[in-house]
Amino acid sequence: MPQSHNFLRLYTGPLSMFGAKAWIAALEKGLDFEVVMVQFNGRTGYDPKHPEVLRINPKAQVPVLVHGDLELFDSTQLFEYFEDLKPQPPLWPTDMRARTWARNLELQSDEVFSPHVIKLMGLQDALDQPAALAAREAIDGFRAKMERVLGEQSFLCGDFTYADIAFYMTQLFAERMGAPLGASMPRLLGWRERVTSRASVRTALAPLAAYLRANARPVPDYLQDIDGALSAAIV
Protein backbone atom coordinates (compact mmCIF):
# COMPACT_ATOMS: atom_id res chain seq x y z
CA MET A 1 0.00 0.00 0.00
CA PRO A 2 1.22 3.55 -0.71
CA GLN A 3 2.65 5.44 2.21
CA SER A 4 1.18 8.82 1.24
CA HIS A 5 -2.52 9.69 1.10
CA ASN A 6 -1.78 11.77 -2.01
CA PHE A 7 0.04 9.02 -3.87
CA LEU A 8 -1.61 7.90 -7.14
CA ARG A 9 -0.62 4.68 -8.87
CA LEU A 10 -2.28 3.48 -12.08
CA TYR A 11 -1.95 -0.12 -13.22
CA THR A 12 -2.41 -0.59 -16.96
CA GLY A 13 -0.96 -2.59 -19.85
CA PRO A 14 0.36 -1.94 -23.34
CA LEU A 15 -2.70 -3.39 -25.10
CA SER A 16 -5.41 -2.24 -22.68
CA MET A 17 -7.81 0.17 -24.35
CA PHE A 18 -9.53 0.77 -21.01
CA GLY A 19 -6.22 1.32 -19.26
CA ALA A 20 -5.27 3.85 -21.92
CA LYS A 21 -8.59 5.60 -21.31
CA ALA A 22 -7.68 6.12 -17.66
CA TRP A 23 -4.11 7.14 -18.45
CA ILE A 24 -5.20 9.77 -20.99
CA ALA A 25 -7.72 11.19 -18.52
CA ALA A 26 -5.17 11.38 -15.69
CA LEU A 27 -2.78 13.27 -17.96
CA GLU A 28 -5.50 15.62 -19.16
CA LYS A 29 -6.30 16.38 -15.52
CA GLY A 30 -2.67 17.14 -14.76
CA LEU A 31 -2.57 14.61 -11.93
CA ASP A 32 0.70 13.56 -10.32
CA PHE A 33 0.76 9.79 -10.68
CA GLU A 34 2.89 6.74 -11.36
CA VAL A 35 2.14 4.14 -14.02
CA VAL A 36 2.71 0.45 -13.41
CA MET A 37 2.89 -1.24 -16.80
CA VAL A 38 1.60 -4.78 -16.27
CA GLN A 39 3.53 -7.17 -18.46
CA PHE A 40 1.85 -8.68 -21.53
CA ASN A 41 3.01 -11.10 -24.19
CA GLY A 42 1.45 -12.53 -27.32
CA ARG A 43 1.49 -16.12 -26.10
CA THR A 44 0.02 -15.93 -22.59
CA GLY A 45 -1.42 -12.41 -22.53
CA TYR A 46 -1.62 -10.94 -19.01
CA ASP A 47 -0.56 -14.18 -17.37
CA PRO A 48 0.60 -14.47 -14.73
CA LYS A 49 -1.70 -11.73 -13.50
CA HIS A 50 -0.17 -8.88 -11.52
CA PRO A 51 -0.79 -9.63 -7.80
CA GLU A 52 -2.13 -6.13 -7.06
CA VAL A 53 -4.55 -6.31 -9.99
CA LEU A 54 -5.71 -9.72 -8.77
CA ARG A 55 -6.12 -8.45 -5.23
CA ILE A 56 -8.03 -5.28 -6.08
CA ASN A 57 -10.20 -6.16 -9.07
CA PRO A 58 -12.40 -9.29 -8.88
CA LYS A 59 -12.35 -9.33 -12.72
CA ALA A 60 -8.52 -9.42 -12.65
CA GLN A 61 -8.31 -6.70 -15.29
CA VAL A 62 -6.60 -3.34 -15.69
CA PRO A 63 -7.00 -0.44 -15.15
CA VAL A 64 -6.65 -0.41 -11.40
CA LEU A 65 -6.02 2.78 -9.41
CA VAL A 66 -4.52 3.06 -5.94
CA HIS A 67 -4.75 6.40 -4.15
CA GLY A 68 -3.57 6.13 -0.58
CA ASP A 69 -5.91 3.63 1.07
CA LEU A 70 -8.49 3.93 -1.73
CA GLU A 71 -8.46 1.23 -4.43
CA LEU A 72 -10.59 1.46 -7.56
CA PHE A 73 -11.09 -0.32 -10.87
CA ASP A 74 -13.14 0.22 -14.06
CA SER A 75 -12.19 3.07 -16.39
CA THR A 76 -15.52 4.90 -16.09
CA GLN A 77 -15.32 4.84 -12.29
CA LEU A 78 -11.82 6.26 -12.58
CA PHE A 79 -13.18 9.05 -14.79
CA GLU A 80 -15.67 9.99 -12.11
CA TYR A 81 -13.04 9.88 -9.39
CA PHE A 82 -10.62 12.05 -11.36
CA GLU A 83 -13.35 14.63 -11.92
CA ASP A 84 -14.11 14.83 -8.19
CA LEU A 85 -10.45 14.75 -7.25
CA LYS A 86 -9.45 17.60 -9.57
CA PRO A 87 -12.43 19.47 -11.05
CA GLN A 88 -10.22 21.72 -13.18
CA PRO A 89 -9.83 21.41 -16.06
CA PRO A 90 -13.29 19.83 -16.44
CA LEU A 91 -13.63 16.75 -18.61
CA TRP A 92 -17.39 16.55 -18.18
CA PRO A 93 -19.47 19.50 -19.45
CA THR A 94 -20.59 21.84 -16.68
CA ASP A 95 -24.17 22.09 -17.99
CA MET A 96 -26.32 19.30 -16.51
CA ARG A 97 -27.97 18.20 -19.77
CA ALA A 98 -24.72 18.34 -21.72
CA ARG A 99 -22.96 16.39 -18.96
CA THR A 100 -25.67 13.72 -19.02
CA TRP A 101 -25.35 13.43 -22.80
CA ALA A 102 -21.55 13.13 -22.57
CA ARG A 103 -21.90 10.38 -19.96
CA ASN A 104 -24.35 8.60 -22.25
CA LEU A 105 -21.89 8.73 -25.15
CA GLU A 106 -19.09 7.41 -22.95
CA LEU A 107 -21.35 4.56 -21.81
CA GLN A 108 -22.30 3.71 -25.40
CA SER A 109 -18.65 3.50 -26.42
CA ASP A 110 -18.01 0.96 -23.68
CA GLU A 111 -21.27 -0.99 -23.67
CA VAL A 112 -22.70 -0.69 -27.21
CA PHE A 113 -19.70 -0.16 -29.51
CA SER A 114 -17.01 -2.09 -27.66
CA PRO A 115 -18.75 -5.53 -27.71
CA HIS A 116 -18.65 -5.55 -31.52
CA VAL A 117 -14.94 -4.68 -31.44
CA ILE A 118 -14.25 -7.38 -28.87
CA LYS A 119 -16.15 -9.89 -31.01
CA LEU A 120 -13.96 -8.95 -33.96
CA MET A 121 -10.85 -9.58 -31.85
CA GLY A 122 -11.68 -13.26 -31.79
CA LEU A 123 -12.25 -13.45 -35.54
CA GLN A 124 -8.91 -12.27 -36.89
CA ASP A 125 -8.44 -15.44 -38.93
CA ALA A 126 -11.95 -15.26 -40.39
CA LEU A 127 -12.58 -11.61 -41.28
CA ASP A 128 -14.51 -12.63 -44.41
CA GLN A 129 -16.90 -14.89 -42.50
CA PRO A 130 -20.50 -13.88 -41.63
CA ALA A 131 -19.83 -13.26 -37.93
CA ALA A 132 -16.94 -10.90 -38.67
CA LEU A 133 -18.85 -9.13 -41.43
CA ALA A 134 -21.78 -8.60 -39.05
CA ALA A 135 -19.45 -7.17 -36.42
CA ARG A 136 -17.89 -4.81 -38.96
CA GLU A 137 -21.32 -3.72 -40.14
CA ALA A 138 -22.33 -2.93 -36.55
CA ILE A 139 -19.08 -1.01 -36.03
CA ASP A 140 -19.69 1.07 -39.13
CA GLY A 141 -23.27 1.70 -38.06
CA PHE A 142 -22.15 3.05 -34.70
CA ARG A 143 -19.47 5.20 -36.31
CA ALA A 144 -22.03 6.64 -38.72
CA LYS A 145 -24.10 7.69 -35.74
CA MET A 146 -21.07 9.32 -34.13
CA GLU A 147 -20.34 11.13 -37.42
CA ARG A 148 -23.78 12.71 -37.07
CA VAL A 149 -23.25 13.47 -33.37
CA LEU A 150 -19.98 15.21 -34.15
CA GLY A 151 -21.48 17.41 -36.84
CA GLU A 152 -19.45 20.58 -37.23
CA GLN A 153 -18.00 20.43 -33.70
CA SER A 154 -14.34 19.83 -32.98
CA PHE A 155 -15.20 17.18 -30.39
CA LEU A 156 -18.25 15.05 -29.62
CA CYS A 157 -19.65 17.43 -27.02
CA GLY A 158 -18.09 20.64 -28.28
CA ASP A 159 -15.17 20.65 -25.87
CA PHE A 160 -12.88 17.66 -25.32
CA THR A 161 -14.43 15.29 -22.77
CA TYR A 162 -14.26 11.78 -21.39
CA ALA A 163 -16.67 10.80 -24.19
CA ASP A 164 -13.95 11.57 -26.75
CA ILE A 165 -11.42 9.53 -24.81
CA ALA A 166 -13.69 6.48 -24.62
CA PHE A 167 -14.77 6.56 -28.25
CA TYR A 168 -11.25 7.25 -29.51
CA MET A 169 -9.81 4.20 -27.77
CA THR A 170 -12.57 1.84 -28.89
CA GLN A 171 -12.39 3.24 -32.41
CA LEU A 172 -8.63 2.70 -32.45
CA PHE A 173 -9.03 -0.95 -31.51
CA ALA A 174 -11.76 -1.38 -34.13
CA GLU A 175 -9.26 -0.20 -36.74
CA ARG A 176 -6.57 -2.51 -35.40
CA MET A 177 -8.98 -5.45 -35.65
CA GLY A 178 -9.79 -4.94 -39.33
CA ALA A 179 -12.52 -2.30 -39.37
CA PRO A 180 -10.78 0.82 -40.73
CA LEU A 181 -12.34 4.26 -40.64
CA GLY A 182 -12.95 5.23 -44.25
CA ALA A 183 -13.31 8.37 -46.32
CA SER A 184 -17.10 8.18 -46.04
CA MET A 185 -16.79 9.68 -42.55
CA PRO A 186 -14.67 12.82 -43.05
CA ARG A 187 -15.80 14.47 -39.84
CA LEU A 188 -14.60 11.54 -37.76
CA LEU A 189 -11.33 11.48 -39.68
CA GLY A 190 -10.74 15.11 -38.72
CA TRP A 191 -11.78 14.39 -35.13
CA ARG A 192 -9.39 11.43 -35.00
CA GLU A 193 -6.54 13.67 -36.11
CA ARG A 194 -7.36 16.29 -33.46
CA VAL A 195 -7.53 13.72 -30.67
CA THR A 196 -4.34 11.97 -31.80
CA SER A 197 -2.45 15.27 -31.67
CA ARG A 198 -3.11 15.73 -27.94
CA ALA A 199 -0.04 15.21 -25.77
CA SER A 200 -1.98 12.99 -23.35
CA VAL A 201 -3.00 10.62 -26.12
CA ARG A 202 0.48 10.44 -27.62
CA THR A 203 1.98 9.65 -24.23
CA ALA A 204 -0.55 6.97 -23.29
CA LEU A 205 -0.30 5.28 -26.71
CA ALA A 206 3.50 5.18 -26.81
CA PRO A 207 3.66 1.74 -25.10
CA LEU A 208 1.04 0.39 -27.52
CA ALA A 209 2.96 1.59 -30.56
CA ALA A 210 6.22 0.26 -29.12
CA TYR A 211 4.68 -3.14 -28.37
CA LEU A 212 3.22 -3.46 -31.86
CA ARG A 213 6.54 -2.59 -33.48
CA ALA A 214 8.50 -4.95 -31.23
CA ASN A 215 6.17 -7.80 -32.12
CA ALA A 216 6.01 -7.10 -35.86
CA ARG A 217 2.36 -6.10 -35.70
CA PRO A 218 0.88 -3.33 -37.85
CA VAL A 219 0.85 0.17 -36.36
CA PRO A 220 -1.99 2.39 -37.65
CA ASP A 221 -0.69 5.03 -40.03
CA TYR A 222 -1.76 7.91 -37.80
CA LEU A 223 0.25 6.49 -34.88
CA GLN A 224 3.48 5.98 -36.82
CA ASP A 225 5.18 9.11 -35.47
CA ILE A 226 4.33 8.47 -31.81
CA ASP A 227 7.55 8.02 -29.88
CA GLY A 228 8.30 6.61 -26.46
CA ALA A 229 8.48 9.86 -24.49
CA LEU A 230 6.46 9.53 -21.31
CA SER A 231 5.38 12.24 -18.88
CA ALA A 232 4.61 9.88 -16.01
CA ALA A 233 7.05 7.47 -14.39
CA ILE A 234 6.58 3.87 -15.50
CA VAL A 235 7.47 1.05 -13.19
Q: What is the pLDDT of residue 45?
A: 73
Which runs of consecutive H residues, i.e. helices, occur in the chain?
17-29, 51-56, 75-85, 96-108, 114-121, 130-150, 162-176, 186-196, 199-214
Tell me what the mean pLDDT of segment 82-103 comes to. Answer: 97
CA dist 43 and 195 (Å) reads 32
CB neighbour list of residue 72: distance below 8 Å, 6 or more residues apart: 56, 64, 65, 78, 81
- 2 falls in which pLDDT band (50, 70, 90)? very low
Strands 233-234 and 34-37: parallel
Assess whether pLDDT exceeds 60 at residue 182: yes
Q: What is the pLDDT of residue 232?
A: 43
Q: What is the pLDDT of residue 65?
A: 98
Percent of the chain at pLDDT > 90 equals 84
- 235 falls in which pLDDT band (50, 70, 90)? low
Considering the entire predicted model, what is its pTM?
0.93
At 101-147, the pLDDT tens digits run 999 999 999 999 999 999 998 898 888 999 999 999 999 999 999 99
At 20-61, the pLDDT tens digits run 999 999 999 999 999 999 987 767 777 788 999 999 999 999
Mean pLDDT value across the chain: 92
CA dist 119 and 101 (Å) reads 26
Least confident span in 7-21, 59-73, 213-227 = 213-227
Radius of gyration over every alpha carbon of the chain, rounded to an integer in angstroms? 17
Assess whether pLDDT exceeds 90 at residue 5: no
CB neighbour list of residue 230: distance below 8 Å, 6 or more residues apart: 35, 203, 206
Q: What is the pLDDT of residue 24?
A: 98
- 230 falls in which pLDDT band (50, 70, 90)? very low
CA dist 7 and 149 (Å) reads 38
Judge whether 114 and 138 are in contact, CB under 8 Å: no
Q: What is the pLDDT of residue 77?
A: 97
